């Protein structure tokens, strides 16, 4: 099984960015742990602060890979282009957020991408990503 974790803008600063909201652990460190936890799964990783680069990555892998875990950061709340890209590909996409966006500012309550995604996991800290891996594994088992 081969999956991609795709992180959007400002998520390269995890560990340093607003630790009260996003925790103090770097994503690179967390990723090592997940790769060790799931040795049978190839977990690819890509992060970009640019909307078009995220869309290009979805196009590049979205017809071949078994699943994509997407934290689109603030583009979640603005990007119809990401919505369309998710709809355009065949791989299932799970939307994740580290924070519970519904407990935060009102502008974070709306997602432009949820309706195009298979499901949404938010509010469990970095563990949101692991829960999404579990969901993709379950879907793969049911194929
Ligand atoms: C986020 C929530 C978004 O509202 C925010 O813009 C982010 C991170 C999260 O993981 O909690 O950059 O997607």
Long-range interactions of 76-79: CB distance < 8 A, separation 24+: 76/8, 76/101, 76/108, 76/111, 76/112, 76/113, 77/107, 77/108, 77/110, 77/111, 77/112, 78/112, 79/51, 79/112, 79/113
Q: What is the mean pLDDT of the chain?
A: 97
Q: CB under 6 Å to ligand 1: residues?
A: 10, 71, 73-74, 76, 97-99, 101, 108
For 99-123, write each residue's pLDDT tens digit: 999 999 999 999 999 999 999 999 9
CA 22 to chain centre: 14
Percentage above 90 pLDDT, the chain: 99
pLDDT score of 104 = 97
pLDDT score of 143 = 83
Distance 87 CA to ligand 1 centre (A): 21
Say yes or no to pLDDT of 130 above 90: yes
Q: Whose CA is nearest to atom 9 of ligand 1?
A: 97
**What is the pLDDT averaged over residues 46-53?**
98
- Residues with catalytic annotation? 22, 97
Residue 47, CA distances (Å) to 20, 109, 115 in order = 22, 23, 22
For 55-66, write each residue's pLDDT tens digit: 999 999 999 999
**What is the pLDDT averaged over residues 43-69?**
98
Q: Whose CA is nearest to atom 6 of ligand 1?
A: 74
Q: Whose CA is nearest to atom 7 of ligand 1?
A: 73
Residue 120's beta-bridge partner residues? 95
pLDDT score of 111 = 98
């Amino acid at each position: 099984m081969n999956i991609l974790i795709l992180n959007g803008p400002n998520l390269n600063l995890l560990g340093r960015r607003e630790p009260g909201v996003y925790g103090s652990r770097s994503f690179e460190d967390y990723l090592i742990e997940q790769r060790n936890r799931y040795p049978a799964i190839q977990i690819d990783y890509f992060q970009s602060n640019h909307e078009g680069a995220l869309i290009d990555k979805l196009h590049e892998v979205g017809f071949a890979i078994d699943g994509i875990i997407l934290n689109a950061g603030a583009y979640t709340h603005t990007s119809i282009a990401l919505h369309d890209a998710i709809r355009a590909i065949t791989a299932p996409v799970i939307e994740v957020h580290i924070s519970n966006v519904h407990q935060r500012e009102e502008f974070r309550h709306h997602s432009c991408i949820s309706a195009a995604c298979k499901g949404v996991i938010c509010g469990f800290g970095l563990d949101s990503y692991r829960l999404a891996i579990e969901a993709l594994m379950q879907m793969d088992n049911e194929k």
